[in-house]
Amino acid sequence: MFLSIWSLALTFCGAIALFLVAVAARTGWRVLRHWDPASDDSLQISLESETWLASTLVEYGLALQILSLLLFILAADQFSQVIAGAMCATGSLMADPYGMPTLYVKLAGVFLYGFWLLLHQLDIRVETYPLVRIKFIYLLVLLPFLLADVTLQTLFIAGLKPDIITSCCSVVFAEAGPDSGNLMGILPNELMLAVYYLAILGLAMVGILLLYGGWVERFRTLLISVYTLGWFGFFFLALTVITAIISCYIYAMPNHRCPFCIIKPEYHYIGLGIYATLIGGAFFGSSIGVAALIGRRPDLTRPVARYRRVAIKISLSLLAVFTILSSYHYLRYLFVGGE
Amino acid sequence: MNFLLEKQLNLLDYALASLWRRKLKNLGIMSVFAGVICLVASFQFLTASLTATAQDLLAEAPEIVVQQMSAGRQEALPLSYLSSLEELNGVRTVAPRIWGYYFSEISGANYTVLAVDPSVMPKGDRLFQAVEGQLPSGPGEAVLGSGVAADLKLAGRRSFSLFRPDLTLKPMQMVGVFKPDTDLLTADLIYTTPDAARDLFAIPADHCTDLCVYVANPREIGTIAKKISVILPGTRVLTRPQISQTYRVVFGWRSGFASICLLSALAAFVILAWDKASGLSAEEKREIAILKVLGWQTGDILLLRCWESLIAAGLAWLLGCTAAYLHVFWLGGALFKPVMLGWSVIHPQLRLLPVVSTADLLLIFTMSVVPYLAATVIPAWRAAITPPDAAIR
Q: Where are the domains of chain A?
A: 5-170, 173-336
Residue A175 phi, psi (nearest 5)? -55, 140
Per-residue pLDDT tens for A128-155?
888 888 888 998 998 999 999 999 999 9
Q: What is the pLDDT of residues A172-224, one digit of tens each?
A: 555 444 333 344 555 677 888 899 999 999 999 999 988 887 777 778 888 89
Q: What is the model's pLDDT at position B393?
A: 66
Residues in chain B predicted with pLDDT less than 70, given as ranges, are: 1, 184, 340-351, 391-393
Neighboring chain B residues of A57 at a CB cutoff of 8 Å: 377
**A154-164 tens-digit pLDDT:** 999 988 876 66
Q: Residue A245 carries which DSSP code?
A: I
Contact B256 A64 (CB under 8 A): no
Secondary structure of B149-178 in the HEC alphabet? HHHCCCCCCCEEEEECCCCCEEEEEEEEEE
Q: Is A15 on the interface with B (CB under 8 A)?
A: no
The residues that bridge with B160 in the sheet, in sequence order, are: B172
Q: Is B262 on the interface with A (CB under 8 A)?
A: no
Decide: residue A312, CB within 10 A, 0-12 exposed, 13-18 middle, 19+ buried. Answer: buried
Confirm or reject contact between B363 and chain A (CB < 8 A). Answer: yes
Q: Which of A5, A20, A60 to mutate to test the interface with B (most CBs of B within 10 A)?
A: A5
Q: Do A4 and B371 touch (CB under 8 A)?
A: no
Q: Which amino acid is at B181?
A: D
- In angstroms, how far is the first alpha carbon of chain B from the final one? 38
Q: With an 8 Å Cβ cutoff, are A162 and B249 in contact?
A: yes
Q: Is B202 on the interface with A (CB under 8 A)?
A: no
Nearest-neighbour CA in chain A from B363: distance (Å): 7
Give the pLDDT of residue B179.
83
Which residue is closest to B219 within chain A, CA to CA? A85
Which residues have C-beta within 8 Å of that of residue A131, sequence separation ≥ 6? A119, A120, A122, A123, A294, A300
Q: Is A301 on the interface with B (CB under 8 A)?
A: no
Buried b (16+ CB within 10 A) or exposed e, B25-56: ebeebbebbbebbbbbbbbbbbbbbbbebbee
On whether any CB of chain B is under 8 Å from the CB of A42, the answer is: no
- Are the beta carbons of A67 and B370 separated by less than 8 Å? yes
Could you report how far apart the first and last alpha carbons of chain A are, in Å?
39
Q: What is the pLDDT of residue B314?
A: 93
Is residue A2's pLDDT more than 70? yes
pLDDT in the model for residue A278: 95
Residues in chain A within 8 Å Cβ distance of B249: 82, 162
Q: For residue A27, which of A17, A16, A15, A35 has the smallest C-alpha distance?
A: A35
- Asked if B381 lies within 8 A of A52 by C-beta distance, the reply is yes
Q: Which residues contact B358 (CB under 8 A, 6 or more apart)?
A: A265, A269
pLDDT at A231 over 90: yes
Verify whether the Cβ–Cβ distance A82 to B249 is below 8 Å. yes
Task: Tell whether B381 lies on the interface with A, counting CB pairs under 8 A.
Answer: yes
Say whether A7 and B256 touch across the interface (CB within 8 A). Answer: yes
Task: Name the average pLDDT for chain A.
Answer: 85
For residue B70, what are the β-bridge partners?
B73
Say yes or no for a CB contact (<8 Å) between A162 and B257: no
Number of CB pairs, chain A paired with chain B, less than 8 A apart: 88
- Tell whether A20 lies on the interface with B, counting CB pairs under 8 A: yes
For residue A325, what pLDDT is reported? 93
Q: Is B172:B148 a contact under the CB 8 Å cutoff?
A: no
Which residues are CB-neighbours of B366 under 8 A, at least 6 positions away?
A9, A12, A13, A67, A68, A71
